[in-house]
Amino acid sequence: MEVTPNRECPGWPGRVRAVTLLLVASALVAGVAASCAAPQPGPRSDAQPATTSEVQPVPGSDSDPASTDGDAAVPTTTTTLPDPVALTLAGMDTRRKAAQLLVAGFAGTAAPPELLELLREGPVGGAILFERNIRDPEQLAALTAALQAAAAAGGSGVPLLVAVDQEGGSVRRVREGVPAAPGARVAAQTMTIAAVEDLAWRVGGALLRLGVNTNLAPVADVVEDPASFLYGRSYGSDPETVGSYVAAVIEGQERARLISAVKHFPGHGSAVGDSHLGTVASPDDLDRFMTWHLPPFREAIRVGVPMVMVSHVVATGLGESIPSSVSPGVIGGLLRATLGFGGVVITDDVEMAGSLGGDTVALDAVVAGADMVIVGHDYAAQRAALESLVTGVEQGRLSTARLDEAVTRVLRLKQAYGLLTLAAAP
């Protein structure tokens, strides 16, 4: 609207200028105050990397509002940071995605040519080491470095999960260069929870210095029968006690930034027999699982365990007729829906006698909801597992969405523990 000056008031133009200047000054002051009062982004609590960042002014610089002489504050700018997981996934074909779901074992203290071939193609998602692979700390450090170098140079260049079973007691793959830990039952009988957590922290740091970034432990099975092969590897026959010590181990390893994999879901405690040697079944019903077997796993999830290992136990009391490692009801039902676990699900070694077995067992496990599959010994079985996953996608048995979901979980795990960076993305 055009304002016509009142010619009958000689001082009117001056008053207009004064009011205008006053309004402009008020607006500037309000703008600066709003800018200073605006909340700044705080630290994220979901362990995911920020996808945006605000460029803040340097104190005392020309862009610092505090250093201006009444001028309006310079507005912040927002930049979008690339997401390493999204970039890496986008650069993968089906075969490389499938390879990320496999954890391979091998014989000898150096990587054999066939494993190096897999690493050049894929690479596979992880390597599992046994005592047969370890001679001394220097050799172990050289081996893990060579494996990571091969993974970095081949395929998508994604670093490996390098895993061992370092439970303590008789199950200790690394004997030198790592603090000795007693078996779980002895630890629970002779050590406080705080002492167990501190020992797990020290063990975790030592493993990481040797290039091992994943411990397939602790054992969360509640075991009463002294004849069980898991008796000495369990923290006890009381679910609450077991849960407390399991949580302590996870929290100690987490302090060291070592990846934990709690096992053997949904609970091996009541099953008679050893799944390494043959089919093992649990007759317990749902009430027994909820009150006895699952509480330690629930506690592990509560404290943030990033990975859960699913056993080959057949939960016949839950109406299952197949091993838990290939059961949608156990993985998708009990673990995902009932306990709310959103991390990586890994199977026990599918070459164990209690496994479903066959060339398509890896495909069966991933279709059922597993994200990673251990094939711990035979190269031919590892090849068959990889081919079954690729063929499963091509034939429509394994959807691209399920494959991408599993790969994304694996990549997010690696990202969370500093293994996946922009440098690794294609």
What is the set of active-site residues? Answer: 276, 348
At residue 268, what is the residue type? H
> Are residues 257 and 204 in contact, defined by beta-carbon separation less than 8 angstroms?
yes
In the numeric block, which tokens belong to residue 290? 């909820």
| Residue 88 to residue 152: CA distance in whole angstroms | 13
Distances (CA, A) of 350 to 171, 216, 263, 308, 365: 19, 15, 15, 15, 9
Q: 3-state class of 136 per DSSP?
A: coil
CA–CA distance, 150 with 218 (Å, rounded to integer): 29
**Could you tell me if 212 and 164 are in contact, meaning their C-beta atoms sit under 8 angstroms apart?**
yes
270 neighbors 283 (Cβ within 8 angstroms): yes
216 Cβ contact list (under 8 Å, min separation 6): 128, 163, 164, 165, 166, 261, 263, 309
H helices within 66-171, ranges in order? 84-90, 94-99, 113-121, 137-153
Q: Is 356 helix (H, G, I), strand (E, B) or coil?
A: coil
* Peptide linkage before 266 cis (omega within 30 of 0): yes
Q: Are 385 and 409 in contact (CB under 8 A)?
A: no
Residue 344: CB atoms within 10 A of its CB come to 24
Distances (CA, A) of 194 to 182, 216, 247, 250, 301: 15, 21, 11, 12, 19
Beta carbons within 10 angstroms of residue 336's beta carbon: 16
Which of 41, 54, 57, 44 has the alpha carbon at shortest distance from 80? 54
For 259, phi then psi, to 5°, come to: -75, 130
How many whole angstroms separate alpha carbon 111 and alpha carbon 62?
57
